[in-house]
A and B are shown apart, each in its own frame.
Chain A
Amino acid sequence: MLFFVARRLLYLIPVLVAVSLLTFLIASLLPGDLAYVILGDQATPEKVEALRHDMGLDQPVLWRYVSWLGHILQGDFGRSFRTGQTVLQAVTERLPVSLELMLLAEIMGLAIGVPLAIVCAARSGGAFDRFMTGSAFAMLSVPTFLSAILLIYLFAVELRWLPATGYVPFTEDPTGNLRFFVLPALTLALAEWPGIMRVLRSDMIATLQEDYIALAKAKGLTASRILFVHALKPSSLTLITITGINIGRLIGGAVIVETVFALPGIGRLLVGAIGTRDLIILQGVVLLVAVGFVVMNFIVDLLYAVLDPRIRHGHA
Chain B
Amino acid sequence: MSEGALLSIEDVSVDLPTPRGNLRAVDRVDLTVGAGRTLGVVGESGCGKTMLSRAVLQLLPKKAKLSGRVMFDGKDLVRLPPEKLRKLRGRSLAVVFQDPMTSLNPVLTIGTQLMETLQEHLELDMAAARQRSVDLLAAVGIPAPEQRLMQYPHQLSGGMRQRVAIAIALSCEPKLLIADEPTTALDVTIQAQILDLLAREQRRRHMAMILITHDLGVVAGRTDEVAVMYAGRVVERAPTPALFKKMRMPYTEALLAAIPKIDAAPHASLPAISGRPPDPTRPLPGCSFAPRCRYADARCQTEKPSLSEAESRDHLYACFHPVETAAEVSA
Contacts and interface: CB of A to CB of B under 8 A. Distances in A.
A211 interface: yes
B152 interface: yes
Interface stretch (B73-81, B97-105, B222-230, B275-283): B97-105
Interface in A208-232: 210-212, 214-222, 225, 229-230
Decide if the interface of chain A is mainly helix, strand, loop or mixed.
helix
Interface in B102-148: 102-108, 116-117, 120-121
B299 interface: no
B106 A310 contact: yes
Contact of B104 (A212, A307, A313): A212
B88 interface: yes
B89 A220 contact: yes
Which of A220, A234, A310 neighbours the largest number of chain B CB atoms within 10 Å of its CB? A220
Most chain B CB neighbours (cut-off 10 Å) among A233, A307, A309: A309
B97 A217 contact: no
Given A211-B99, A310-B152, A217 B104 contact: no
B94 A218 contact: yes
Contact of A234 (B105, B121, B165): B105
A230 B104 CA distance: 10
B41 interface: no
A221 B107 contact: no
A296 B82 CA distance: 44
Contacts of A7: none
Contact of B117 (A221, A307, A315): A221
A interface residue count range (under 10 / 10 to 19 / 20 to 34 / 35 or more): 20 to 34
Contacts of B102: 210-212
Nearest to A307: B107
A308 interface: yes
B87 interface: yes
A215 B121 CA distance: 15
Nearest to A215: B103
A315 B105 CA distance: 15
Chain B interface residue bracket vs A? 20 to 34
B105 A218 contact: no
Nearest to A125: B62
Given A219-B89, A220-B88, A233 B117 contact: no
Given A217-B89, A218-B59, A234-B105, A225 B116 contact: yes
A225 B106 CA distance: 16
Contacts of B154: 309-310, 313, 315
A125 to B, nearest CB: 8
B120 A214 contact: no
Contacts of A234: 105-107
A219 B165 CA distance: 11
Nearest to A209: B61
Contact of B90 (A211, A214, A219, A309): A219
Contacts of A315: 154
Interface string A274-307: 0000000000000000000000000000000001
A214 B59 contact: yes
B97 A211 contact: yes
B168 interface: yes
B86 interface: yes
B116 A215 contact: no
Given A220-B117, A222-B120, A310-B152, A215 B97 contact: yes
B91 interface: yes
Residue from B105, B117, B165 with most neighbouring chain A CB atoms (10 Å): B105
B90 A218 contact: yes
Q: 8 closest A-B pairs (Cβ-Cβ)? A: A220-B90, A220-B89, A219-B90, A211-B102, A309-B152, A212-B105, A211-B103, A218-B95
Interface of A: 210-212, 214-222, 225, 229-230, 233-234, 307-310, 313, 315
Interface of B: 57, 59, 86-91, 94-95, 97, 99, 102-108, 116-117, 120-121, 152, 154-155, 165, 168
7 contacts: A212-B102, A218-B95, A219-B89, A220-B117, A221-B86, A221-B116, A315-B154
Given A211-B97, A212-B102, A310-B152, 5 more contacts: A218-B90, A218-B95, A219-B94, A221-B86, A221-B90
